[in-house]
Every structure is written in C-alpha cells, then in structure tokens.
Amino acid sequence: MLLASPKKLRSCGIIGMNQRNFSLVSRYNPRHLYPLVDDKLKTKLLAQKAGITVPKLLGTVDYQHDVKKLKDLLSAHHQFVIKPVKGSGGKGILVITKRDQNDYIKPNGDRLTLAEIERHVSDILSGLHSLGGKLDTVMIESLIQLDPVFSDYSYEGIPDLRVIIFQGYPIMAMLRLTTHTSDGKANLHQGAVGVGVDIGNGKALHAVQFGKPIQHHPDTQKTFSELEIPHWDKLLPLAAACYEMTGLGYLGVDIVLDRDLGPMIIELNARPGLAIQVANSAGLAPRINVINELKQIDPDPQSRADFSKENFSNSLSGSLPPRLERTRQGD
Amino acid sequence: MKAEFKLYILVFLIMTTGIGLILYKHLALGFPLLPDDKKLTWIVEAKIDFVANGEPVIVSFALPPKNTSTIFMEENFASPDYGFSEIASPTGRRAQWSKRSANDSQTTYYRLNVYKNDLTIATPPSDIPHEPIKPEFDKAHQIAAIALVEQARNKSANTETFTRELIKLLSPQMPNQNQSLLINDQASVDYKTNLVIDLLALENISARIVRGLYLEGGRRKQTLSNFVEVHNGSQWLLFNQETGEIGLPENFLIWQHGAESLLDVIGGQNSRVSFSIIENVQSSRDLALLNNENKQATIIDFSIYSLPIEQQNAFKMILLLPIGALIVVILRLIIGIRTSGTFMPILIALALIQTTLLTGIIMFLTVVSTGLLIRNYLSHLNLLFVARISAVIIVVILIMASISIISNKIGVSQALTVTFFPLVILAWTIERMSVLWEEDGPREVFIQGSGSLITAVIAYLFMTNNTIAYLTFNFPELLLVNLAFILILGQYTGYRLTELYRFNSLDRRRNAISEP
C-alpha cells in the first residue's frame, strides 16, 4: 500500500494542509498579527519586552550602503549568525563559528571571505529570502552554544525544538536535528531528522528523515530512545507564553537550548507545517479538540503548560478516544 | 455556519446564472455545444429571363414564405437599373422590379441563402381554406372523374386516405381507363395538380397547389415541383402528387402556397424562371452567430463577438486562462502537487501552446538547465540581487538566440519557437530554482521543477483541447461556472492525495503499534 486511506488518517486525527489553512491558520491567526512573527526583529523586541529569553542581537543592516560597515560590525565577534528579518523556513541564515585571520568559517568548515558575506547580506537586503521578495533587513545575532545533550545527535549545526501552541496550550513538539545531508541546517526538507517529543516529559518518541521512520541518527549512529530534552519544565511555559505575546491562536514556536543560557526563542511561525504529526506518529486534531472543549483559556502560561503535560503525555494520548476535528458539517 | 451558507447561496446563484445563460444560448439561439457541429446551407438563385418590348416593365415574382423551420440568412435582389420593392400580398411576399422602358432580353436575379433550423418543428400553415369550387367537366370526363372518386372513396376512411388513394389511382403505375381519359401523356405537371385539386373538390375537400424546390447541391436550371396541400378540416396536409406520400420531404423549400402565378411580367414576353442551387457546409456556430446578429439578440450584441477580430483572438487566449487556473487549483488543493510559483505553470502552458508540446518541453528544460549552470557561475561574482536577475535575463536571451541559430543551421526549425517563452518568467524561474537549490537542496528543485512542468503539461492539454477552446470562447458564461467550482474547491478541507502518501508511514506505524 503506497497510500494511506483517508478514513484511517481521519480517525487518527491527522490534519491535512487544506484543513490546516482553512480551519487553523485562517481561523485562529488574524492577518494583521502576522507581521509580529514574520518580522524576526519585531518578534525579538516583543519577546525581550515580555521577558522571554532570546539570542542576543549584535547588530542590524538596513540599507545596501550600510553593507560596507559590516566589517566593523563583525570585527568584535568571532561567532555569529546572520539572518534575514523577514525570511521564513530557515532561509538565508548564515552561521559563522570561527574566524581564521580574514576568513570566516562555517560549521561545515567552508571558508568565506568578507566579500562573500557582504554579498549574502546584500542578497538578503534585496529581498531574496523574504516572503514576496520585499525589501528586507539583516540582523546579526550571537551564536547559540550547543547543549552537550545534543552533541551526539547533531551534525555541524544546532538542533531546534518546534512546539505547536494552540490557544496558548503546547499541544505537540518535535526536535529537529541537523545532519550532514541537511548541511547543518534544522530544515526537514533538506534532510534534518524530526524527532517527536512527548509533551509530558520531553522524551523522544519517534524519528523521521524525509518522512521515513529511522532509529539512529544517520551521522552519529546514536539511537534516539535515550534522548531527553533538558529544562523541559522551564521550556514549555516559555513556549506557551508566546501566545500572550503575539495573540496568534495557532503558532509554531522554535526554541533552541543554549549551553549557558538555557532555552531561548529564536523564531515564531504563524503557519507551522504538518511534518510534526509524522514525527510524533499522532494527529493534531484530537488535541485541538481537547483545548476547544475547555470553557476558558487559563491566563497563566505555567498552568497551561501543566495542563498540556497532564493531558498530552504520550502514555495518555493512546487511550484518548480518537476524535475528529469537525469544523464543518459534512466534510 | 452563516458565512458558509452565504457562500453556498452565492455559488448556487453564480452556477445557475452561468448554466442558464449557456442553455439559453444553446437552446434558444442555436449555438451548438460542440465545435464540429456542421450544417448544410443552400444558396438558391432564381434567374428570371424575359424579352422586353420597349414599354414600361413590371416584373412580379413570388418569394418563399418565411417560417420558423427554415432560416433565411440573406436575400439579394440583383438587377441592373431596375427599381425594386418587396410587397406583402395576402397570398405571400412578392418581389417587384420595375423600369420605365427596356428592350431586348432582360435578366433579374433573386438570391437566397437558407438553412434548416433543427430546433423547431415545421408547423403547417393555419389559414382557413375557401369553399372548394366545383369543377366543370365535359360529359365523358365527368363520368370518369366520378368513377375515380367513387373508387378512391371505397378504399378510404377519411380525407387523408382518400387523397392518397386518389393520387394512387392517377399514377401511371396503375393504368386504367378512367385515368387515361383524364390524363393523357402530354398533360403537364400543373394540369395534373389541378386535376387532383378538382377531383378533391368533387368530394368537397379543400385543396390547393404548393410549389417548392428540392434543395440539392449543384443543380442548375431547376423548376419548382408541385405538391398538393389538402385541408382535412383542422389543418393543411402536404401530399406528393406523384406518390401520395404525406408530409414535407426533407430539404424541400416551399416557395408558394396557392394558385397565384409564380411570375408575372408586364411589358415583356417569353418570360422564364429557372433555379440553381449551391450546397455549402458551414459551422453551426457561425450560422447561429450570423442569424442572431441579424436579429440583434442582446446577449450577442453585448458580447465578445461585437469586438474587433484582433481583440476576439486575444480573448480566445485570455478565456483559456481560467481553465488553467482551475487545473492549478485542483492539482494543488486536491492532488497536492508542489509547484514553483503558484501560477507560473499557466504561463509555461501558454508558452507551450505556441511552441507545441514536445519542442516546448525540450526547449524549456534546455534553457532552464543552461540558465542554472550560468546562474551558478554568476553567484560567484559579487553581484547585487536585481543586477543578477537582469544578468540572468540577458543570459537567457543569449541562450535562446544560440539555440535558434544552431538549430536553424542544423535545419530544425521548430526550435525557433523558443522565443515564445516569456523571458522574464524564465529568468525568474531560473533564479528561484537556483535559490531553492542553495536553500533546500536539489531534491526540492527536482520536486518543484517537475511539479511545475507536470502542472503546465496538464494545463496545456486542457487548454489546447479543441472542445474546451471552443466552449470557453463561445460560451464565456462558463467563466461563472468555473468561478463557482473554484469557490467550492476553496472550501475543500480534506486530505490532498500526496498527503495520503506523506502520512502513509505514520499510518503503518500506528497499525504496528496497535496490532501486537
């Protein structure tokens, strides 16, 4: 069988792209709030105001003629990340981990000259990576230090954790591990490994690469069963608090774990993808239903995180009756 | 719920308006639903010759009556230096040519372009007949006539069967004394017609002569054929006076009802009328269009047809775009094919229409892959984004030019059509693909590239379909139907086909968990 039966998928509560767009994104995410998450600089400032930890901003480049100032801006830093402010899906992110005299070195060892970095910055400013090709801004952030927990599970890059926040409640989580194939990027399209994470305790559940289940990290050969995400109790409320921050009802929160600074929000996404269901081997719909049946949304992120831990733990989710996300009659 | 309800009402309204207009055009105005629908048309030419004797001339000629079963597209009255008018007389239309004086042989023409209307059934004329006038025969003929009528009456039950039997008795296949007395071999066709009418009058049945023309292509010097029309008390019935068959024969154009003369010439002699017929095959759509333009149907008057031909051609293409859009919507929302750029495939499809499929695809692949290689080189040069895109455009032009020149030298002329591809779209595609390659890897380039091409090819196949092209242009109301479909598809929240594959592993894993 090459294809799954739609009936079965529905009974598992798997949400498809059309349904995501129709009954989650367009219903719970008002358009006018998008700029808050599509503009990473705004997100960062907003998060700082709300007391949420974010990577330190080293500087920004707003105009083409400022590209020449890049040299001075970077001179003080040996490690940094260059990002397009309006980029999406990890596009246009350049990570520099080392400097060797005049060369900048990427995690995979490639050497870049200052001119090449200037071109990259100039591309970003021209809108190469932004949605709809709009003019963009470049921001330079401090580099995240890899948490030793992940050192066996990531290759040439920093893994990140995607948590889906629905109406303020964390409902599903997935760890994205970098691989050699993915060029050190936590991008599932390029071959990063997605690992489903138990909302209850932060332990790894299943892992997929290119949509196919795998047992070991393809580069380090480490099995995923021993993987457990540290600071889980601190991390969930942090993610849940992004609901108040943005007002978006269906939100993807990307979190990295810094060795020294702990969990930090790096990006928010108003249209989080569906691969998380494959990594978790579970559908989003039953969990969305649980939240929808609540009489009111708890104003405290901490107690929302506790509620999710209690209700969406993997040991429980199997026993929940599979229910359908019925948004319209007869569909 | 309320918004959905509104949407469904809207969809319903749009859909019914669209379908209603299509049906109206098809059923009432006669636009065929298929492009190959053809109809026979005939050009009937009546040529009137006479020798004028120097006096004022008046030529009066009976014209065929207009009815719903035949459509007169065009009537011409050509005759040099004659005054002309069309006169409605109680017995039907007549043409009248007039001139103060004329000498020698004169000719006037009447030309008629006609076709049969399949949509309405011919209705027999409904006028009420005069009392039949009892004929007067001499003694011998009187006896023969009464005997024949008697014979026919015995074999018949009503007016219809009586007429049929009477015609049979008069036919030369059944020779008998009475018949041969009434009709001799030299008797003209008109004589026989009148005889039938007289015999019917003996039986107190109203009848009249009907003259008409068999519409057969390539006939010259035809004369009108005589039929007998009999009133059975409620309606007129047409009989073939030779065979006794009832009803209007196929492709028979009735020219004249009643005994009034076909042609009267005052101030001339040796007048003669002869008919010639040319048969044509014309597309039903053109005929419907012409007919409705003549009638000035509002829906045709305010339509694309009223635009100049050039703009009509532009619209032919534009009206195909929504079909492409529908294909894209279906492929993306229901099948789940990923394409690079939402509507880029339609633009490729438009280019394919110009270049033909195979050449187009080969050209597209050649240009894009060469472009990708060169773009890869350009990325090593330190260029600003807009400058790089512009550079890629120029490179694409160079590639196009070299493909055209090389293929021309080799003798493959098809490759020249590469110029139909929209330049900027190609350059933009190359740029996007190249960025995609850097960001998401060759796998995504392959998926989105082939997705775009497959979508373009499917859209191309639909857009070049003869029937679809015909329907979209001649029934622009289909836009509304298309719109309604897209509105409905916009509500589809089910799984995409590709998602069934994507979530397949998940489904199997869950089974594996639940089974042991």
Contacts of B384 in chain A (CB under 8 A): 64, 122, 126
Residue B212 lies in a domain: no
What distance in Å separates residue A321's CA from the closest CA in chain B?
14
Rounded CA separation B420/B96 (Å): 59
| B5 pLDDT higher than 90 | no
The enclosing H or E element of B125 equals: none
- For chain A, domains (ranges, CATH) are 18-38+147-317 (3.30.470.20), 56-142 (3.30.1490)
Residue B435 lies in a domain: yes
**More confident: B377 or B424:** B377
ipTM of the complex as predicted: 0.74
Side chain identity at A237, as an amino acid letter?
A: P
Q: Give me the pLDDT at residue A158, please.
A: 85
| A329 pLDDT higher than 50 | no
Q: Are B493 and A119 a contacting pair at CB < 8 A?
A: no
**Comparing C-alpha atoms, which of B227, B273, B215, B206 is closest to residue B62?**
B273
CB atoms within 10 A of CB A48: 13
Q: Supply the DSSP string of B9-20, one letter for each residue.
A: HHHHHHHHHHHH
Phi-psi region of A26 (alpha: psi -120 to 50; beta: other; left: phi over 0): alpha
The tally of domains found in chain B comes to 1
Contacts of A327 in chain B (CB under 8 A): 493
Q: Give me the pLDDT at residue A304, please.
A: 93
Contacts of A6 (CB under 8 A, 6+ apart): B494, B495, B500
Give the best residue of B340, B503, B504, B514 to mutate against chain A (max A CB count within 10 A): B503
Distances (CA, A) of B30 to B27, B123, B225, B285, B466: 5, 19, 30, 8, 19
Q: Are B439 and A91 a contacting pair at CB < 8 A?
A: yes
Q: Give me the pLDDT at residue B13, please.
A: 94
Identify which of A2, A17, A92 has the shortest CB distance to residue B336.
A17
Q: Supply the DSSP string of B423-447, one letter for each residue.
A: HHHHHHHHHHHHHHHHHHHHHHHHH
A37's tokens: 């998450």
Contact in structure between B86 and B93 (CB atoms under 8 Å): yes
DSSP H helices, chain A, are 6-12, 17-19, 26-28, 34-38, 40-49, 70-75, 114-125, 232-240, 242-246, 275-280, 285-292, 301-311, 314-317
Percent share of chain B, pLDDT over 90: 8
User: Is residue B496 within 8 angstroms of chain A, CB to CB?
Assistant: yes
Q: What is the pTM of this model?
A: 0.70
At residue A216, the 3 state secondary structure works out as strand
The range of the structural domain enclosing residue B351 comes to 341-475
Residue B153 lies in a domain: no
Contacts of B510 (CB under 8 A, 6+ apart): A12, A281
Phi, psi (rounded to 5 degrees) for A4: -80, 155
pLDDT tens column, A70-84: 888 888 888 999 999
Residue of chain A whose Cα is closest to the Cα of B379: A119
What distance in Å separates residue B17's CA from the closest CA in chain A?
26
Contacts of B502 in chain A (CB under 8 A): 211, 278
| B514 pLDDT higher than 60 | no
Side chain identity at B394, as an amino acid letter?
A: I
B376's tokens: 């890869």
Q: Give me the pLDDT at residue B386, please.
A: 75
Residue B259 lies in a domain: no
Contacts of B98 (CB under 8 A, 6+ apart): B56, B57, B58, B59, B82, B83, B84, B85
Contacts of B493 in chain A (CB under 8 A): 16, 18-19, 22-23, 327-328, 331
Q: Are A183 and B513 a contacting pair at CB < 8 A?
A: no
- The residue-averaged pLDDT of B14-28 equals 89
Rounded CA separation B405/B408 (Å): 5
